[in-house]
Amino acid sequence: MSSATLPAALLALLLRDLRLAVRNRSEALAPLLFLVMVTTLFPLGLGPDPKQLAVIAPGVVWVAALLASMLSLNHLFSNDFLDGTLEQLTMAPYPLPALVMVKVFAHWLSSGLPLVLVTPVLAIALNLPSQSIGVMFLSLLLGTPILSMVGAIGVALTVGLRRGGMFLSMLVLPLFIPVLIFATAAVVNAADGMSAASNLYFLGAMLVLALTLTPYAMAAALRISLS
C-alpha cells in the first residue's frame, strides 16, 4: 500500500459522507432544531427574569446539546448497515479504525459543528454573561467531538439491534456525564469571574484520550455487531 493510498481513501470516504449529509438535510438539521427549541422553551416556562436565566443557561445549553447529539447518533451507522457499506468497510484493505474515525468526523461536521456555531446566539438569548460566552463555545468545541466518538462506540454495538436506540441511551448517557460536569463547570466559573482553564484542560485531555482510544473500540464494536 503506497503512502498516498490511505489518505486518498479517507478523503473519498469523508466527501462521500458529507454529500450524503447534504442530501439528507432533515437528519442533519434535526439536532440543531431540537437544540433551538429546547433552549427557547426554558424562558417561556421559567419566566423572563434575566438573573434566573443567566444562572441556568450553562446547564440548559449543555444538556440540550448533549440530547441533540444523542438524537443525531442514531443515524451514524444505520444507513450504512442497511445497504451493506459497513461490511464493505470491514473487508477493505485499510485500517478499520481510521475508516470509522473519518465517518465520525463527517458526522460531527454535519451535525455537531452546527450546534457549536449556534450556541453563542442561544447563550446571549439566555442572558449568559459576555465573559463566559467564549468559554461556552470552547467547551462545546472540545466536548461535542467527545460525545460523537464515545457515542459512536455505543452505536456500533447496537447497530444491528431492533431496539438499538433504547440500549444506546443506556450505554452512552453515563459516559457523557464527565463531559457535562467539566463543561458546565467551566462556563459557570467564567460567569462568576473565576478561571475556567482547569476544566477546559480536562476537556482537552479527554478529547486527546478519545482520539487515541475510541477508533479501536469502534472498530472492535462494529466487528462484533457484524459477526
- State how far the Cα of 66 lies from the Cα of 85, in Å rounded to an integer: 28
**Cβ of 208: how many Cβ atoms within 10 Å?**
11
Report the SS3 class of residue 207: helix
Q: Flag the least confident range among 47-56, 180-189, 214-223.
A: 47-56
DSSP state of 76: S
Q: What is the pLDDT of residues 50-106, one digit of tens each?
A: 788 888 888 888 999 998 888 888 778 877 887 788 888 888 888 999 999 999 999
φ/ψ region of 7 (left if φ > 0, alpha if ψ in -120 to 50, else beta) reads alpha
- State how far the Cα of 123 lies from the Cα of 134, in Å rounded to an integer: 10
**pLDDT above 70 (res 201):** yes
Helix, strand, coil % in the chain, rounded to nearest 5: 85, 0, 15
Question: Which long-range contacts link 46-52 to residues 24+ away (Cβ below 8 Å)?
Answer: 50/127, 51/127
Asked if residue 193 lies in contact with residue 131, where contact means CB atoms within 8 angstroms, the answer is yes
**pLDDT above 70 (res 112):** yes
**Cβ of 45: how many Cβ atoms within 10 Å?**
6
| Mean pLDDT across 141-162 | 88
Full-model pTM: 0.90
Q: Given the C-alpha cell 487515541, which residue does it identify?
A: 212
CA–CA distances in Å: residue 45 to residues 48, 53, 97, 114, 115: 9, 11, 44, 25, 22
- State how far the Cα of 43 lies from the Cα of 35, in Å rounded to an integer: 14
**Cβ of 124: how many Cβ atoms within 10 Å?**
12
Which cell is 154 given? 455505543
Q: What is the mean pLDDT of the chain?
A: 86
Which cell is 65 given? 446539546
Which cell is 119 given? 450556541
